[in-house]
Structure formats: structure tokens, C-alpha cells
Amino acid sequence: MKNAKYLLIGLAAVACAVILGRAYTYKYRAQDTILVTGLGETEFTSDLIVWSGELTAEAQQAAAGYAEIERSKQKVQQYLADKGIPAEEVVFAFVNVEKQYDPVYNANGNWAGQRFTGYRLRQRFTVESSDVEKVETVSREISSLIAQGVSIEAYAPDYYYTKLDDVKMGLIETASADARMRAEKIARNAGTKIGRVASARMGVFQITGANTNEEFSAGGSFNTSSRQKKARITMRVEYRVK
């Protein structure tokens, strides 16, 4: 009976030693890593422009206002065609009609209601083209139609890049290579070598205007106001040490 007791104690001691040994080995391996952040950056030029403008008209009768909008629309279409912009790249939205009112006050200065003053009509148009230079020029010069009686408001263009997925994949590769180079340098200075990747995490994809002071966003920046852009991505990689 006493021998069995000693045998159980011995087996328990061996089991504890094995568990502690494994725990120590795991802890050692878990800590025996190098964690680095690699960076990938590149600049590129937008290859797609989206530019919008809005036609407006005011009239006592909705039909008269619509006729004015239609005349302005024809002048814009002709202007864009003369500038070499194909009709299929221009989209006109529906005509929005709003009733306009002025407040009415009584002799005591108290509000007494409102008076109908007429209609205000608006029609937005959008140009989407790969000829960035041409549309950019037109967007700056279209205000010349005001001299022809066109009530128009032009907005700043938005710039995009149609091969953004290729840029992103290239930056992931660049950032990963940069991370490995950093890890190898750290390991070399420590007199060791890096092994396999223990973990890898991609940072947020950021697109800002080139040569600007735009701040990065936690959710990712996506600049559309600059024709020249800069893309940036980071890779956080943990390597095992041999």
C-alpha cells in the first residue's frame, strides 16, 4: 500500500514536470519573436474624372421655368460637344421643381403666413471621362456660358483611379518585403536569424493627395479632390527566431 502511494506521488511529480516544461517551452517560443511594421508607398496619377454642374431657373410658372432649363441644357450640350466631350459621357438628372415662398408679417411685425413667389428649378449634369485633362479644362471654362444667359453652377471635379486594386496588391508586397528587411536587420544585429511568419496583419489603406498635409484616418483616407495621389499601406508582421 505504501509502495503504491509512493508510486502515485512519483507519477504526479513526473506529470507536473512535463507540464511545467511544456509551459516554459511555449513561453520561450512565444517570446522568441521579432515584431516589425513594414511600409509601402507609391504615387500615381488619376485616370478618371467625374465632374458635375447644376442648371437653375426661376419663374412664376413651372412650365416657363422648365422651358428655360431646357434652353440652358441645349447650350451646355452644344458647348461640351464643341469641346470634344462625347454625348455618352454626359448624364443629365431629372429636373427638380421647388415652390418658393416669402414670409408675410402684419402691421405689428408678427408673422402672418407666407406668400407664394414662384418656382425654382434645378437640373444637375455629370460628366465622367478618362480624358482627365480635357474635362478638367472644361470645368474651369464653362462659366463662360453665363454670358449666354445660362444660370449654371460648376463644382470641383472628383478624381479616381481605375486600377486601384493593382496598386493595393503592389503595396502589400512592398510593405511585406520592407517588414522582412527590417526583421532581418534586427535579427542580424542580435546574432540570430528569422524563421517563419508567426502572424501578419495589414494596416488601413490610405489614399491622400500627393504633396499635401492630409492626415491619415483610422478608417482609411480616400482622397478624390487631387489629381495626383499617394497611396500608403503598412504590414505588421511577427517572425519566429531560429
- 124-148 confidence digits (pLDDT tens): 999 999 999 999 999 999 989 999 9
Question: Residues 18, 85: one domain?
Answer: no
What CATH number is attached to the domain comprising 179? 3.30.110.170
How high is the pLDDT of residue 117? 93
**Arithmetic mean of pLDDT over the chain:** 88
Whether residue 40 is found in the same domain as residue 16: no
* Distance (Å) of CA 233 to CA 93, 142, 171: 37, 38, 6
Tens-digit pLDDT profile for residues 34-48: 999 999 999 999 999
Shared domain for 69 and 149, answered yes or no, is yes
Considering the domain architecture, whether residues 172 and 194 belong to the same structural domain is answered as yes
Judgement on whether residues 98 and 16 belong to the same structural domain of the protein: no
Q: Are residues 6 and 40 in the same domain?
A: no
What gap in Å lies between CA 40 and CA 30, rounded to an integer? 27
* pLDDT number for residue 112: 83
Q: What is the pLDDT of residue 14?
A: 43
Residue 199: pLDDT above 80? yes
Rounded to the nearest 5 percent, the helix, strand and coil shares of the chain are 40, 40, 20
pLDDT at 121: 97
Residues 37 and 111 in one domain: no
pLDDT of residue 25: 37
Q: How many domains does the chain divide into?
A: 3
Q: Which of 159, 188, 221 is the last residue of a domain?
A: 159
Q: DSSP for 27-95, please give it.
A: HHHHHSEEEEEEEEEEEEE--EEEEEEEEEEEESSHHHHHHHHHHHHHHHHHHHHHTT--GGGEEEEEE
203 with 218, same domain: the answer is yes
pLDDT of residue 224: 95
Instruction: Identify whether residues 116 and 127 lie together within a single domain.
Output: yes
Side-chain half-sphere exposure of 180, counting CA atoms within 13 A: 9
182/91 same-domain check? no
Q: Which of 159, 190, 213 is the last residue of a domain?
A: 159
Instruction: Name the nearest CA neighbour of 182 among 194, 168, 199, 196.
Output: 194
Q: Which domain holds residue 100?
A: 49-159
Which pLDDT score, from 0 to 100, does residue 2 have? Answer: 46
Average pLDDT of the residues in 68-79 = 96
